[in-house]
Structure 1
Amino acid sequence: MALDLLNPLLARSIKRGRLTIVTPDGRARAHGSGEGGPLVTVKLHDPRLLAAIPLAPELRAGEAYMDGTLTVEEGTLRDFLAVFGMNRQSFRADSTQRYFRTLYKKARRFQQANSPLRSRTNVAHHYDLSNDLYRLFLDRGLNYSCGYWPSEDMSLEDAQTAKLRHIAAKLRLFDGARVLDIGCGWGSMAMLLGEAGCNVVGVTLSKEQKALADERIAKRGLQDRVEIRIQDYREVEGPFDRIVSVGMFEHVGVPQYDAFFGKIRGLLTDDGVALVHSIGRKGGPSATDAWTRKYIFPGGYSPALSETLAAVERSGLWVTDVEVWRMHYAHTLKRWGERFEANRDKAQAMFDERFCRMWEFYLAASEMAFRHGSHMNFQLQLTREVDALPLSRDYMGEAEAALATL
């Protein structure tokens, strides 16, 4: 009989909702009262999972779902992951889970040693899969970062447009400003800045992103204002009046934080302004789970504000504004998941069933990290000089309203 470490762990940890485990021999064991959360039943088709999952929960559960050796019989995948998210603190209190988290934290500097060569490899792993894949679930502007949801009933397109305007408003743009977009993706932010009268250089390490961004820029007639390069941020030469980075800082890695913020300071003019938008975490420094590192974002990490701001302080930059978005990415990821599900047959034709199950797990698990976990987004506005910006935030709202007329 297989060693069962899973059911004892669940018995100690499930306080909200109910999770029933059906083992390969057909026996079922329920955990939790069912109050305050979803009712979920999963079937394990491989007895080894009873010992494997507790030793590496995200990695082994994710792989089992991808391989079809873990199937959801009652409820949905989102419900299954929600139960774990809702009971996150109980799981984290388990001594075995604490032990492995400690090991992951000790290894994170090696895991995130993102040299220029390694960064290119990491980017190709995820962002060069296929532009057509991302068209299946992103908004029309192909914004692959958190939308801004002042109202939950907004469309995904409106939320992403609101995000771009909200960020641009913090840059205090002026006509002819030279702007650097670090991690420009498919070019939506760069194009908005170009239409606002700026001269923009966008850098990415993804060949797929650059090719499509160039096409989009040409269709908008912005070739004279917006240039997209395949270039590492460490290789860029300035100066720039404004620097923006949306959803790229997660790929920098802790060992490179000092170099990243030092580079921003070195590229800015004396009265320059930078805005960094990133996923973050509410608690202190941690590590990326093994499944995400292996299958989705090798070298990636969602930082704590404490370790981020410490690096900013060492760079000599001023932190002139900090904003935290709590549930915005949960709303964004839910919409992405719905769109991917609606186009799942197309994704399967591009890749295969295992890939589709991996992508479903990625989107659902990410949503739960924001909905029930400690993940959030933060925006840091940075300057070289103390007097580079007005003393109040009024100009941000005024600029945001003006950008809506473009």
Structure 2
Amino acid sequence: MLDRLTASLTENLLQRAFEPLVRTGQLEVVAPSGRTLRFGDGGRPQARIRFSDKRAVLALLRDPDLNFGEMFMQQRLRVEQGTVYEVLELILRGAKHVPVSASVRLLDAWRMRLRPLLQHNRRARSRANVAHHYDLDDRLYRLFLDSERQYSCAYFEQGDEDLETAQLAKKRHIAAKLLIEPGQRVLDIGCGWGGLSRYLAEVAGASHVTGITLSAEQLAGAQHRAAQSPCGDRLEYRLEDYRDTRGPFDRIVSVGMFEHVGTQFHEAFFRQCHELLSDDGVMLLHFIGNSDVPDFNNPWIERYIFPGGHIPSMSEFTPAIERAGLVICDIEVLRLHYAQTLRLWRERFMARRAEAVALYDERFCRMWEFYLSMSETAFRYQDIAIFQVQLARRQEAVPLTRDYIARREAALKTREAGSGLVAPVMAGAAKIRAGSV
């Protein structure tokens, strides 16, 4: 009798949790008792999940932000039909309009209070946070990134380009906004494997590009590729915190790094950029931003993927820019570009998943699949986008209208063909598609 009552209570809790969320498509939820609950209108997509035990159900309902991923990693929540991406899509595409419970609101409020502690990214913690994610086996990133190792949002000019084309377009778009002229010195903060900095030297014509990173693995990769570049003498890479860099530089670029600074250090970051930038200098900051009110970092992402990370809202970072004495010359919001990038990464990762299992293990691959899937749904159905913020010391440093961006992109595209850059990039894409890299 007690077991039947417990099973009935668990099924009732699942019904109440999923019914408001899944309105279109179809999600089947198999309770620990074996009973199947169906939600939605029977359309697409369709997926089925199974809970192995009632504690897994209670864990999910108590703290869905953290425990959905944990239950999936532990296989206490199994996807029996469809993919975990489709499960998340069914749940999240209508979630903004569903009120959260009082207990979840209290948990959210507590996490907002914890933000300063979790984002206290002083030098030692910043380096440890970067090592947690970026110092993984380099062969893992080969499985799903483009040949130039661009681990940031691509730029889809048409919307259906392949990954290599879109990542090249991203570098071209950024270089155009930087307004690089011959003889200028450039700083790349958070340079990754050096793909963008090589482009700025080889194609955009920078006289010297300094790339700084806190990842030893990325530093080694950037230095190795710089040695093979025809402009290797104009490329320099250092294992260095941005707070320790000395200038001046004519141009500063930072792609996918600002999310790791932390709200407490926004002002220090922008003051340092102001100090490093020449009087006529221009800076381009490309990062994941929140188009809604300030929020906390997803707790599952915080624990397993990007400790110390934060997706800032406009109201959080713009005051720090103002106080640092920098001028905002342009803000562009790239909507859905990262969703498409993540879809391509996820498809490439899943196509070579067996290789990832050989590098790590099954649990790691479930974690990585959930990370890519959850990130894609966040960019599609939640208020997350890419912000490109152009900054300067003086407002006269940038043309009056945005027409120059298209003109410079066209000129850069011509230089790409003349530099021989496009053919190696496309050859690298062919090797990745063939699984030989």
**Normalised by the size of structure 2, how large is the TM-score?**
0.90
1:117 paired with 2:139, answer: no
CA distance in 1, matches of 2:312, 2:149: 24
Q: 1:107 to 1:34 in 2, by over 3 A?
A: farther
Q: Which amino acid aligns with 1:159?
A: A
After TM superposition, the structure 1 = structure 2 runs for residues 58-69 of structure 1, keeping only pairs within 5 Å, are: 58-69=65-76
Percent identical: 48
Partner of 1:302: 311
Would you identify which runs of 4 or more consecutive aligned residues in structure 1 move more than 4 Å? none
Q: Which amino acid aligns with 1:272?
A: G
Q: Which amino acid aligns with 1:332?
A: T
Partner of 1:350: 359
Say if 1:18 and 1:30, in contact at 8 Å, map to a contact too.
Answer: yes
After TM superposition, the structure 1 = structure 2 runs for residues 7-406 of structure 1, keeping only pairs within 5 Å, are: 7-34=15-42, 38-195=45-202, 196-198=204-206, 199-404=208-413, 405-406=415-416
Say if 1:92 and 1:98, in contact at 8 Å, map to a contact too.
Answer: no
Give 3-state SS (helix, strand or coil) of 1:224's partner.
helix
Say if 2:21 and 2:91, in contact at 8 Å, map to a contact too.
Answer: no
Partner of 2:421: none
CA displacement at 1:92 relative to structure 2: 4.9
Q: Which amino acid aligns with 2:199?
A: L
Cα deviations by residue, 1:243-282 (Å, 9 ceiling, x for unpaired): 0000101111111101111111111111110000001111
Q: Which amino acid aligns with 1:225?
A: R
Say if 1:77 and 1:364, in contact at 8 Å, map to a contact too.
Answer: yes
Cα deviations by residue, 1:279-333 (Å, 9 ceiling, x for unpaired): 1111010011111000000001111112111211121110000000001001100
Give 3-state SS (helix, strand or coil) of 1:64's partner.
helix
Larger mean Cα displacement after TM superposition, 37-46 or 258-267: 37-46
CA distance in 1, matches of 2:28, 2:108: 26
Cα deviations by residue, 1:127-151 (Å, 9 ceiling, x for unpaired): 0001111010000110000000011
Q: Which amino acid aligns with 1:207?
A: A
Higher helix fraction (1 or 2): 2
Q: Which runs of 5+ in 1 are unaligned?
A: none
Larger mean Cα displacement after TM superposition, 164-173 or 94-103: 94-103
CA distance in 1, matches of 2:386, 2:100: 25
Say if 1:282 and 1:375, in contact at 8 Å, map to a contact too.
Answer: yes
Say if 2:211 and 2:237, in contact at 8 Å, map to a contact too.
Answer: yes
Give 3-state SS (helix, strand or coil) of 1:78's partner.
helix
CA displacement at 1:55 relative to structure 2: 1.6
Give 3-state SS (helix, strand or coil) of 2:112's partner.
helix
Give 3-state SS (helix, strand or coil) of 1:119's partner.
helix
CA distance in 2, matches of 1:317, 1:398: 26
Say if 1:251 and 1:300, in contact at 8 Å, map to a contact too.
Answer: yes
Say if 2:194 and 2:211, in contact at 8 Å, map to a contact too.
Answer: yes
Say if 1:114 and 1:252, in contact at 8 Å, map to a contact too.
Answer: yes
CA displacement at 1:106 relative to structure 2: 1.4
Q: Which amino acid aligns with 2:25?
A: G
Q: Which runs of 5+ in 2 are unaligned?
A: 1-5, 417-437
Cα deviations by residue, 1:352-399 (Å, 9 ceiling, x for unpaired): 000001000000110000111111101000001121122112222111
Give 3-state SS (helix, strand or coil) of 1:13's partner.
coil
CA distance in 1, matches of 2:30, 2:15: 10
CA displacement at 1:91 relative to structure 2: 4.3
CA distance in 2, matches of 1:175, 1:239: 16
Give 3-state SS (helix, strand or coil) of 2:348's partner.
helix
RMSD: 1.4
Q: Which amino acid aligns with 1:370?
A: F
**Normalised by the size of structure 1, how large is the TM-score?**
0.97
Q: Which amino acid aligns with 1:393?
A: R
CA distance in 2, matches of 1:10, 1:210: 45
CA displacement at 1:157 relative to structure 2: 0.2
CA displacement at 1:24 relative to structure 2: 2.0
Say if 1:272 and 1:383, in contact at 8 Å, map to a contact too.
Answer: yes
Cα deviations by residue, 1:197-244 (Å, 9 ceiling, x for unpaired): 211100000000011111111111332101010000010001111000
